[in-house]
Amino acid sequence: MTQPDESAPMSSSSAPSTPSSAVSPPAGETGQETQITLRSPAELADALPYLMGFHPNDSIVLLALHGERGRFGGRLRLGIPDNRAEWPDVSDQLAETLVTGCAKRGSRPDGIVLFLCQDPAEGETGRQVRERLHPLAQSLRLACGGLDVPVYEALCISDGRFWSYCCPDERCCPSEGVPLALPGTSVMAAAAAYAGIQVRGTLREMEARYAPLTGPRAREQQTALDAAAADLVPRILRGTDCETVRQETLALAGLLIGRFHEAPPASGRAAADERDDALVAADEAAAIVLGLQDRTTRDRAAEWMEGPQAPAALRVWRALARRCVPPYAEHAAAPLTLAGWVAWSVDCTNSGHGSTLWRCVRNIWACRCRMSSPVYIRSDGRPCTAVEDRGSCCWYVDVVAVAGGGWCGA
């Protein structure tokens, strides 16, 4: 996807509850953009995965609209809080984050489109999800309205259907919901395919690729991490051996990246991850994971974010994140940070503006990093290195992404 500021102008709507919004997929080799106009709640619901680069399950998504014709601007996503008591405060924070973030990047939004995406719990229907989340939708609408930015449309997407919280017309938005378009059958899907945009599954599916190993392999990895910690931690703490440990870590990481580069990934995510896991020994993973806890080492490892080995490096960092099993789960911050670097770089190289793959990885990166050690990123969305001034990193990692290339946190 193009960055929001590059989106095409959009036609105005005859009704505020169904804004007419235009989307501009990435420019092709000719440099021309494909303009798409979205005129109904159904088209907005179908476009969401293409705007985000993935299916944002269990998510609040806010999209800013600019100008008389409703050009898409900033995009913000946050997991739906389980505690209903948090909804009013979260709504206020999200509205302020999106509005102020867009203002800093050029102009306040003239309107907002809201999505609440959540699958039904066991024994629950999509319609019941819609009713359960109605107070959250209302809270978000009030928060945005309090900043003089109206919510033109608010949709609940659940169980393959969508419901509008704004449109009372049973002809277009019946109480039983409207089925989503079949994948690949809409105009947006065709335009996305032509532009080379990939929807990389659901956020839950992508998170699973970075989740810690379980079962016997997890126990084997924990044993290896314990042994590596007993060896490396004293050497690091003494201070006199730090540079040697750094060189050993980087040499071993380079060996793994070369090994992955020579073994192309298998087809299918599960098969590819299984093959990658088999390419890494438990003791190798333990040594690299612990060595990467040193920020200088991590920053040097970031040099693999570019060049022909970058895709292999992304696979290595992903495999190492899976090796951060309890009680070493917080150690995943380092390989996740490196995965974020590579994803951003690879997307910039392949598409010219680095958004789709980077947007996917950074959501996973933030979800896990926010539960471990602090990781900082710059206002353009890239992680800060240890040698950079933390004062220039204006946003702290959280699950909120705004305006395509940047991050904001509460």
Greater pLDDT, 236 or 174? 174
- Which residues on neighbouring strands pair with residue 162, listed in sequence order? 157, 178
pLDDT value of position 273: 93
Distance CA 312, CA 316 (A): 6
pLDDT exceeds cutoff 70 at 24: no
Residue 358 structure tokens: 């980077």
pLDDT value of position 364: 55
pTM above 0.75, yes or no: no
Cα-based distances in Å from 162 to 117, 364, 404: 9, 25, 24
Greater pLDDT, 352 or 122? 122
Q: Is 349 helix (H, G, I), strand (E, B) or coil?
A: helix
Beta strands in 189-315 (DSSP E): none
CB-facing half-sphere around the CA of 226: CA atoms within 13 A: 8
Note the pLDDT tens digit of each residue in 222-247.
Answer: 999 999 999 998 888 877 788 999 99
What is the average pLDDT across 278-290?
97
Note the pLDDT tens digit of each residue in 152-172.
Answer: 999 999 999 999 999 888 888
Looking at every residue in the chain, the average pLDDT score rounds to 78
pLDDT exceeds cutoff 60 at 61: yes
301 phi and psi angles, rounded to 5 deg: -65, -25
